[in-house]
Structure 1
Amino acid sequence: MASPTARRKLGIELKGLREAAGLNIDQAATAAGISDSHLSRMERGRVGVRPLTLRALLQSYGAGAEDTDRLAKIAADTTRRGDRGWWQPYAASISEKYASLIAFESEATSIKAFGSMIVPGLLQTEDYARALLQRGPVRLKTDEIATRVEVRTARQAILDQPDPPSLWIILDEGVVRRVVGGPEVMRRQLLHLVDIAARPDVDLQVIPYAVGAHAGTLGPLVILGFPEGDDVVYCETYAGDLYPEAVASYGDVFNRLAQDALSVDNSLEMLRAAAEGMT
């Protein structure tokens, strides 16, 4: 699998050089002999960049030898098969877009996630994750479930690294009330959320039923932030995992969800009470 983080880094650099050269998408694409839509996908990190295309772009941008050599090395990563991430041994068991999410998570400095029906994967206990997969939309064999639980659990290691990403989680109350895996599994999951929320770099809020309809009724989403900008949005659907291009609009959705949610303290009070109710 080509490196999604390399594609993203190269796209940011190419966009910066194009803008510094005073060229718009149409002008740059014409100079490189490609379509404007293809160049747009390159700048958003959606596709890799071939050497000839890169050379044509950099020439039209007036890039120097040092930038050309440096970007050529990054471009090689965007088209090379194989990824050095810890998830590579699981490549046959997970989709390429899910692997991209894991790669983006590993480099993100902030993660905002909204859970509309279930706890987001980064905060799931093993038993909760296993129960979800056993009853999920895709029928999986026992060994397939075990592998997916293992991957989901391994993803959570980023929360324990020396400089973890800031985490802002918003849950619909239905996530709290839906008993997944039985009362004891759910009780431990809720207490795990309480423990995670106690960390200084984590904010967790719950949107109560009383709010009624809210901005997140279309489903879950994850917004991954990076220090150089160009956030990435991940949405999970029945048809597949998508990276929408209207990142700003999803940021607005998340902010509206935060406004409808309970405060952090009141949210934790709800989680504790729900956990007690599971005994």
Structure 2
Amino acid sequence: MGPDLLKLLLTPTLIIAATLLQRRWATLFGGRLVGLPLTAASSLTLLTIREGEKFAVQTAIATLGGQLAIAAFCLGYARTALNHRWPIALPIAVCCYAIAALTLSRHNFSLPALEFLVPTGLAATLAAWPALTPREVVSIPWELPARITVATVMTTLVLTAATMLGSRTIGLVASFPLFASLSAAYGHNAAGGPVAVISLRSVVVGAFTSSVFFLTIASTLPLLGALGAFPLAVTATVFAHIAVNLFTYGLKPRDSCIGRMNEWQLASSA
């Protein structure tokens, strides 16, 4: 299979497979499988093939730090959305992401430092999250085709600009939550700011899972090579995804360890 054909097929295949698994075994896998870092996994796989393992490791480290920029985006949108409409909330959130990404790009954080900073930053973001009463989460019509299109476009842009921008910058660019921003703006416009706030909280929770993938790749790729590191990273990420969802949501809505804005509770209480 040629690189161009692999680029076109890998990301949609992962998203479709995750969606089918979610519909069949959602409880077993713990929540939304589409919350896994599917776009990042395909992008890093293709970058490893095209640019080499060293470039992929540096990109993984940068993308790990990029989870803090995602948290800044989500918190910026959440705080703004409670009092303003999406044309104001979205630009403010983008500015928050840009400031965080610029700060990260100017400091060459080591992998051990990011192991501490990323989970701490994500936990602090959840601690600062606005508390809301339960309400229904609004889904985008044709969510699966939209998700596939956005992910494929993002993967193509990452691969096209990788050499020009360098591993650190492309890792931060690739971290931008494009689909989440579109979904939040749609929900905000359709049903109000609180719906967007609830939607983006799940993105922050998902960043814990994504961090495991990037950390595993950055730690093991130089030692195990692509054939060893990527299967290990996928396995670790799936287990982390299950653990995070069980801790956050519990086996049943009432079992949640984090009582605020539980997506399963919201869906069941509507």
Higher strand fraction (1 or 2)? 1
Q: Give 1 or 2: higher helix fraction.
A: 2
Question: TM-score, normalization: structure 2?
Answer: 0.28
Larger Rg: 1
Give the TM-score of the pair, scaled to structure 1.
0.27
